[in-house]
């Protein structure tokens, strides 16, 4: 057997190109003073519920929109639109993540010059979205209490790359429904990412939401300086 076949590592090439596009997009949005936030989680962790709470509390201070990504359906985008938030639906037709060209299609449907904050609700998945830069200034993930406190051991890249971790559905804590250990989770996460901000909250009750939205306001102010 000879080495006569040329091997092209397509994935590395695609990711390298995407990374350059991501850097360019960050610079462009920074110049426009538009903060792009990439929100990631597994399905059912509460991305849309968190966005409804967040946009509801910040709507008087910031002009916001959401780029909603799903393999199919417009259910979540409709929920956001019904609440008064401008929402664009991206249907990925099987793709398990968003990359910059996909995000750009959503941005092209928005007037980014008049928006302060744009949220990307990425495809529900703890693997692929962590591997692709979307051009966002902030990467945020949600882990819900019912998922368990062992997820940093199983999906280390996701926890390593994020600027903030939302621990959602804290209303389950202290009930017979879960043995989730918040302190143990934090220790596991800090081993991967010492700088990550952690916000325990409940999108259902609203408990803990203020700490999260206060931090977002600080990030928006820093981004616009």
| Helix 10-32 and helix 100-108, axial crossing angle in degrees, nearest 10 | 40
- Alpha helices in the chain, H assignment, sequence order: 10-32, 47-58, 75-82, 100-108, 128-131, 151-154, 156-161, 182-192, 209-223
Q: Give me the DSSP letters along 38-104.
A: EEEE-TTS-HHHHHHHHHHHHTTT--EEEEEEESS--HHHHHHHHTT-EEEEEE-TT-SS--HHHHH
Asked if pLDDT for residue 13 goes beyond 60, the answer is: no
Domains of the chain: 15-211 (3.40.50.300)
Alpha-carbon distance of 192 to 176, in angstroms, equals 29
Q: Quick one: tokens of 15?
A: 């990711």
Q: State the burial class of residue 80 (Cβ atoms within 10 Å of its Cβ: 0-12, 13-18, 19+).
A: buried
Alpha-carbon distance of 104 to 172, in angstroms, equals 37
Residue-wise pLDDT tens digits, 132-180: 999 999 999 999 999 999 999 999 999 999 999 999 999 999 999 999 9
Q: Nearest-CA neighbor of 29 among 139, 120, 118? A: 118
pLDDT of 96 reads: 82
Range 76-86 average pLDDT: 92
pLDDT of 16 reads: 77
Range 57-73 average pLDDT: 91
Q: How confident is the model at residue 6 (pLDDT cuts 50, 70, 90)?
A: very low
% residues pLDDT > 70 (the chain): 93
Q: Quick one: tokens of 102?
A: 């996909």
Alpha-carbon distance of 195 to 143, in angstroms, equals 17
């Amino acid at each position: 057997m000879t080495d006569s076949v040329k091997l092209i590592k397509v994935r590395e090439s695609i990711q390298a190109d995407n990374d350059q596009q991501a850097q360019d997009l960050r610079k462009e949005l920074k110049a426009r003073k538009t903060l792009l936030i990439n929100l990631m989680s597994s399905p059912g962790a509460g991305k849309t519920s968190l966005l409804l709470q967040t946009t509801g509390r910040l709507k008087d201070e910031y002009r916001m929109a959401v780029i909603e990504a799903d393999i199919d359906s417009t259910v979540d985008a409709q929920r956001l639109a019904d609440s008064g938030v401008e929402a664009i639906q991206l249907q990925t037709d099987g793709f398990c993540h968003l990359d910059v060209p996909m995000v750009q299609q959503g941005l092209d449907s928005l007037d980014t010059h008049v928006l302060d904050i744009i949220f990307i609700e990425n495809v529900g998945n703890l693997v692929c979205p962590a591997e692709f830069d979307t051009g966002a200034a902030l990467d945020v993930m949600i882990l819900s209490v019912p998922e368990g406190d062992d997820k940093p051991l199983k999906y280390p890249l996701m926890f390593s790359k994020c600027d903030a971790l939302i621990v959602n559905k804290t209303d389950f804590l202290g009930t017979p429904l879960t043995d989730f250990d918040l302190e143990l989770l934090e220790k596991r996460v800090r081993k991967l990412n010492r700088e990550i901000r952690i916000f325990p909250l409940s999108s259902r009750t609203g408990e803990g939401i203020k700490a999260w939205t206060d931090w977002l306001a600080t990030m928006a102010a820093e981004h616009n300086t």
